[in-house]
Amino acid sequence: MLRGLAMGTADVVPGVSGGTMALVLGVYERLVAALRAVTSLAPWQALARGRVRAAWHAAHAPFLAPLALGIATAVLLLARVIERALVLYHVPLYAAFVGLILAAAVLVGRRVVRWRGTPVLTFVLAGAVTTWLLSGPPQTTSDSLWSVFLAGAVGITALVLPGISGAFILVLLGQYGRVIGAIATLDLMTLLPFAVGALVGLATVARLLDLLLRRALDATMAALLGVMLASLRRVWPWTSGELLQDRLVWPPGAWGPEGWILAGVVATIAFVAVLALDRAAGHRIVARDGTSTSCDGTSKSRNVR
């Protein structure tokens, strides 16, 4: 449960992923195996036959249940804090998001072993498509329950993928403020489609992403890097806040020179913090298996994935 608390805290903040935190805490491989098991047919077949205990263990529930409880607890505790910060401290909060996402982009870029051919093509295409998608009005689908369902389905992939967070995906889809607000106020009309989307995502998107990471790691990571860099425009601190339903507008001069300095300091701290987490993850893996594996996706003896 304590590991879940740490992962939930990471997932609330764009740029730090629950998957990265799972690496730091030494449970990443077990988490991927558990997610693969719980979305397979075996536990549900056992449950349909009335074998509750067998289904419980086949779904890796003794591990996943307290982990999920810790994640949910952290999200509930931090949601109201983040919601208030979106209004009162928009510029420094978004500056922190920029630093976190830039650092995560560095980590994702490191995982591309060979920058040539397909990885370069997927990087360019992903960046171009993301730029095109974000060039339109940021709130075109924000009022739709379908968009909340989609955000849950795609955002859950952060549990599988170190380097990109579920909160970042919600920012990219324009749903971060809405979901955080719904958690803070327990708005079930928003939380229910989001939860259903997350369940569907576990059964489909997360498994597909796990397959891509095992079969086409370089191309997948390059595409994600393109998405992350192109989407930085969505979290630029001085903009009309699509996450605030246009309640506030922060022009560049709103905070004066001290605002730029504050934003730079906060972004730098966030950037360094994520790289420190990655370094800790690399040290953790060495301690666990005795190899010289690092968190950049390569190893002298084996690949982390």
In angstroms, the Cα distances linking 294 to 102, 131, 210, 300 are 20, 32, 19, 9
**Smallest Cα–Cα separation from 244: which of 60, 133, 89, 39?**
89
The answer to whether position 176 is within a domain reads yes
From start to end of the chain, where are the E strands? none
Contact 54, 38 (CB under 8 A): no
Look at residue 16 in the predicted model and tell me its pLDDT: 66
Contact 151, 194 (CB under 8 A): yes
The answer to whether position 295 is within a domain reads no
The answer to whether position 52 is within a domain reads no
- Number of domains within the chain: 1
The answer to whether position 22 is within a domain reads no
Domain region containing 210: 80-289
Asked if the model's pLDDT at residue 254 lies above 80, the reply is: no
The answer to whether position 152 is within a domain reads yes
* CA–CA dist 129, 154 (Å, integer): 17
User: What percentage of the chain has pLDDT greater than the value 90?
Assistant: 9
Other Cβ atoms within 10 Å of 178 Cβ, number: 22
Q: What are phi and psi of 60, to 5 degrees?
A: 60, 30
The answer to whether position 59 is within a domain reads no
Q: What is the average per-residue pLDDT within 102-114?
A: 83
Instruction: Encode pLDDT of 158-196 as tens digits.
Output: 777 766 677 778 877 778 888 888 888 888 888 899 999
The answer to whether position 242 is within a domain reads yes
- Contacts of 156 by beta carbon, 8 Å cutoff, 6+ apart: 166, 197, 198, 201, 202, 205, 206
* CA–CA dist 94, 176 (Å, integer): 12
Please tell me the pTM assigned to this model.
0.63
Instruction: Encode pLDDT of 72-95 as tens digits.
Output: 898 888 887 887 777 777 778 778
Q: What are phi and psi of 249, to 5 degrees?
A: -125, 130
Which residues, listed in sequence order, are joined to residue 249 by a DSSP beta bridge? 240
Q: What is the average per-residue pLDDT within 215-226?
A: 85
The answer to whether position 208 is within a domain reads yes
Contact 153, 200 (CB under 8 A): yes
